[in-house]
A and B are shown apart, each in its own frame.
Chain A
Amino acid sequence: MLLDAPWWIMSDQDAALSPLAVPRIAGPGSGRWPFGRMILEVRLDMPAWKQVVAVACSILIGMFISAVILVASGVPPGELVNEFASNVFDRQSFQAVLVQAAPLILVGIAASIGFRARFWNLGLEGQMVWGGIAATAVTIYHIGPEGLRLPLMALFAMMAGMAWVAIPALLRMKFAVNEIISTLLLNYVATYCLYDLLYGPWKDPKDAFPHSSLYASAERLPDIGHGVNAALPLALVLVLLVFWFAEFSRFGFYLKFIYANPAMGRLVGVPIIPVVWTAVLMSGALAGLGGFLVPSGIAGRLTQGFFEGYGFSGVLIAFLARNNAVAAAIVAVLIAMLFVTGQSFQIFYQIPFSMVQMIQAIIVMCVAASEFFIRHRIRLQR
Chain B
Amino acid sequence: MATALELSSITKSFGDFLALDAAHLSVEYGEVHALLGENGAGKSSLMNVAAGLYSPDSGSIEVAGLRCRFIGPRDSMQHGIGMIHQNFKLVKRFTVSENVLLANPRGSFRNGKTAIEREIKEKAETLGFSLDPARRIDRLSIAEQQRVEIIKALVAGARILILDEPTAVLTEGEAQRLLAMVRDIAEGGAAVILVTHKLRDVKTFAHRVTIMRGGKTLATVDPRQTTAEELTTLMVGSHVVTPSRSAKSAGEVSLNVTGLASATVEGHTPLIDATFSVRSGEIYGIAGVGGNGQTELAEALVGGRQPSAGAISIKAPGSPTPSDITAATPLQRRDHGVASVPADRQALGLATRLSIVDNFAIGFVHEGRFGSMALIDRASMRRATQAAVEDFEVQGVRSLWQRAGTLSGGNAQKLILARELSRAPSIIVAHSPTRGLDVRACAAVHARLVAARDAGAAVVLISEDLDEVLGIADRIGVMTRGRIVAEFDAPADRNAVGRAMVDHV
Contacts and interface: CB of A to CB of B under 8 A. Distances in A.
B362 A265 contact: yes
A252 B330 CA distance: 20
B304 A250 contact: no
B399 to A, nearest CB: 11
A256 B354 contact: yes
A2 B14 CA distance: 36
A226 to B, nearest CB: 35
Contacts, number: 104
Interface string A249-271: 11111101100110111111111
A217 interface: no
Interface in B31-56: 53, 55
A250 B347 contact: no
Contacts of A268: 330, 334, 340, 362-363, 419
A250 B372 contact: yes
B331 A2 contact: no
A293 B439 CA distance: 64
A3 B305 contact: yes
B373 A30 contact: no
A35 to B, nearest CB: 15
A3 B347 CA distance: 12
Interface residues of A, number: 33
Contact of B351 (A1, A3, A260, A269): A260
A36 to B, nearest CB: 10
B261 to A, nearest CB: 15
Contacts of B295: 1
Contact of B354 (A30, A248, A260): A260
B352 interface: yes
Contacts of B365: 250, 253-254
A250 B375 CA distance: 7
B71 A39 contact: yes
B376 A253 contact: yes
Contacts of B363: 268-269
B371 A250 contact: yes
Contact of B265 (A2, A265, A270): A2
Contacts of B14: 44
> Which of A39, A250, A263, A265: most chain B Cβ within 10 A?
A250
B358 interface: yes
Given A249-B376, A263-B347, A267-B342, A2 B71 contact: no
A249 B302 contact: no
Contact of A267 (B302, B366, B372, B376): B302
A381 B70 CA distance: 12
Contacts of B375: 248-249
A28 B373 contact: no
A14 interface: no
B348 A381 contact: no
Contacts of B376: 248-250, 252-253
Given A250-B373, A251-B373, A260-B353, A269 B331 contact: yes
A225 interface: no
Nearest to A3: B304
Given A257-B354, A263-B347, A268-B419, A4 B373 contact: no
A313 B353 CA distance: 28
Contacts of A260: 351-354
Contacts of B304: 1, 3-4, 263, 266-267
A151 interface: no
Nearest to A266: B330
B374 A249 contact: yes
27 contacts: A1-B344, A1-B348, A2-B305, A3-B299, A4-B306, A28-B72, A39-B72, A44-B14, A248-B376, A249-B375, A250-B365, A250-B366, A250-B376, A253-B376, A254-B365, A257-B358, A261-B351, A261-B354, A264-B347, A264-B348, A264-B351, A267-B304, A269-B334, A269-B363, A270-B366, A271-B329, A271-B331
Which 7 pairs of residues, A with B, have the shortest CB-CB distance?
A261-B351, A260-B351, A269-B331, A30-B72, A3-B304, A269-B334, A260-B353
Given A261-B352, A264-B351, A269-B331, 4 more contacts: A44-B406, A253-B361, A257-B362, A264-B347
Interface of B: 14, 53, 55, 71-72, 265, 295, 299, 302-306, 329-331, 334, 340, 342, 344, 347-354, 358, 361-363, 365-366, 371-376, 406, 419
